[in-house]
Structure 1
Amino acid sequence: MTLIISWVGVDDKKTGKEISSLYIASDSRYTAGIKTKFDYGIKVFGASKYPEIFGFCGDVLFPSTILGQIIPQIDNGILLKESDDCNSKNSKIFTYIETSLKEYPDTFLGNTFTIIHGTRFGKDFKLFKFFYNKKYGIEVSEIPLGKRSTKVLSDGSGAKEFDNKWSKIWNNPKHNDYRTSRAVYHCLNQTLKEIKDPHTGGLPQIIGLYRNNNSRIFGIVENESKYIYGKPSSEDINSTSIEWRNENFERVDPKTLKILEGSQRQPLQDATP
């Protein structure tokens, strides 16, 4: 099943609190049964020419296939228009998924899957959830985002363990990281290190959306190594083309693996309030 979460970052402006960022993050494990696993599976996706981000949990084949079809059509201006607001974009994406399901063999589908869609129009951020159940079909709902930095969604077979840590530790007003973006990432990181659910594992992967530009992929730096979608980046890659974060959700220079000059240093992870 996996673990997928989403959270928002909120800034204080003269006009009040405003959402400045929306993230979707996941583990990196695909499983077949309990014993067969692959810890380099992509579960978060983003369009490069539109402010659209996605993630999924549950059945792997259909969500990964459909997002592989949707995103190129978004980026080539086929599926969406720049004048579409958040609701219009989500409606078009839902229709595409719904009509594709009608042609998809039932024998290929697992019992359930969830696809999360984060979007922005102007400064308006929204998050939607597509939930499929083999008995009742697919439905869509909007996830309230609120105006504080916090987790807004957790789903999948690993969500129970994540939510337990979240409620007991990081969502505690006495914790130094209370109501911060880094608190959600710390909880995810710690959960994956201690996870008991056999269908959840590997390193975190994150896609983000900010007030400007489109989706942003994050590389992960852990134990002085770089990872993208759970896979070690040992190849000769252009590391400077994306943003990198360490275990403490600090911005990192991919060449030196040190905190970027001028970046705000965050308090170390602390699993006690």
Structure 2
Amino acid sequence: MTLIISWIGVDRKKDYKEISSIYIASDSRYSWGSAKKFDQGIKVFGSSKFPEIFGFCGDVLFPSIILGQIIPQIDNGILFGPNDGAGTKNQRVFNYIRSSLDTYPKEYLVNDGFTILHATRVNKEFNLFKTTFGKEKILKNKEIQLPKISTTIFTGGSGEKEFNSHWEEWNNPMHNNYGTSRAVYHCLSKTLKEIKDPRTGGLPQIVGLYKVGNMRLFGVVEYEKKYVYGKELTENIYSKSIEWRNGNFERTSPENLKRLKGAQQQPI
């Protein structure tokens, strides 16, 4: 079923605190009951031309189809207008999901439904929205309020309970990484390495938004190898075109797989 999380990074200014980044991350496992699994399934998405990122948990087929349709329409300027605010953009996404779900055979939705996250930025303001369809068979949409501290803002999926159990360690004022963006990733990495839920697994996959630019796709360095969307990159690719992070969420060189020169070392 999956584990999906979202978190924010907050700049600690002298006189105020300001959100500087938002992330959506997931495991990479598609599963068919307890018998079959595939650890290279895409669960996070984003626009390369506009500041919009998405992720989902629950049923795999419907959300992956819908997001596979929505992203190209955003990229080509079809779904959003140039002056749309965050609420308007999300309402357009919600309306698209709703009209598609109206004609979808709901008896084939696995795990009783799905959750789709949509994070957006207008100017330098970030917003996160959640669309859900559950056992009550009602499609709902809600904005998630963002705090002024670097922390998780959403967790979901069958791996949620294990993540939240681990999160108690980092969400402690006595921890070295309390109140930091990297703490969330540390917890995600540990959870996936120790996960007991058979429907959750594989390597993390991450997309994010900063104050400027559009979707950031992050490569993951683990076990001295490079991964994107859970798949080891064995092909000859242009690795420098995206950011890479190691298990400590440190900026990492895709060439020698070591922390980038000048990148801040992060305590564990």
Separation (CA, whole Å) in 1 of partners of 2:143 and 2:82: 21
Aligned length: 267
In structure 1, runs of 5+ residues without a counterpart are none
The answer to which of 33-42 and 103-112 deviates more is: 103-112
Cα deviation for residue 14 of structure 1 reads 5.5
Aligned to 1:123: 124
Q: How does 1:1-273 map to 2 (within 5 A)?
A: 1-13=1-13, 16-110=16-110, 111-167=112-168, 169-267=169-267, 269=268
Tell me, what secondary structure is at the counterpart of 2:18? strand
**SS at 2:50's partner residue?**
coil
Kindly provide the amino acid, as one letter, of the partner of residue 93 in structure 1: V
| CA apart distance, 1:104 | 1.0
Q: Deviations over 1:122-144 (max 9, x none)?
A: 11100010000253321011111
1:189-237 per-residue CA deviation (whole Å, 9 max, x = no partner) reads 0000110101000000000000001000000001110000000001011
**Amino acid paired to 2:162:** E
For structure 2, the residue ranges without an aligned partner over 5 or more in a row are none
SS of 2:196's equivalent? coil
C-alpha distance in structure 1 between counterparts of 2:227 and 2:88, whole Å: 35
Residues 35-62 of structure 1 show CA distances to partners (whole Å, capped at 9, x for unaligned) of: 1100000000000111000000000000
Q: Could you tell me how far apart the structure 2 residues matched to 1:183 and 1:251 are?
A: 15
Partner deviation per Cα, 1:246-272 (whole Å, 9 max, x = no partner):
0110001101111111111111x3xxx
Q: CA deviation at 1:108?
A: 2.7
Deviation at 1:13, TM superposition (A): 3.4
Residues 76-113 of structure 1: CA distance to partner in whole angstroms, max 9, x if unpaired? 00001221111110000000000000011223322110
Q: CA deviation at 1:30?
A: 0.3
CA separation in 1, counterparts of 2:162 and 2:108? 29
Measured on the aligned residues, the alpha-carbon RMSD in Å equals 1.0
Mapped partners of 1:231, 1:136: distance in 2: 34
- Quick one: which amino acid aligns to residue 262 of structure 1? G
Give runs of ≥4 in structure 1 deviating > 4 Å.
Answer: none
Letter in structure 2 aligned against 1:221: V
The TM-score normalised by the length of structure 2 is 0.98
TM-score of the superposition, structure 1-length normalised?
A: 0.96
Query: How far apart, CA to CA, are the structure 2 residues paired with 1:225 and 1:152?
Result: 29
Q: Structure 1 residues 79-88 or 51-60, which shifts more?
A: 79-88
Q: Distance in 1 between matches of 2:94 and 2:86?
A: 12
Secondary structure of residue in 2 paired with 1:265: coil
Rounded Cα–Cα distance in structure 2 between residues aligned with 1:175 and 1:107? 46
Letter in 2 for 1:154: T
CA shift, 1:12, in A, is 2.4
**Alpha-carbon distance between aligned partners in 1 of 2:21 and 2:127, rounded to the nearest angstrom:** 11
The letter of the residue matching 1:186 is H
User: For the residues of structure 2 that align with 1:61 and 1:15, how far apart are their CA atoms?
Assistant: 46
- Overall identity of the aligned pairs, in %: 63
134-143 vs 24-33, which deviates more? Answer: 134-143
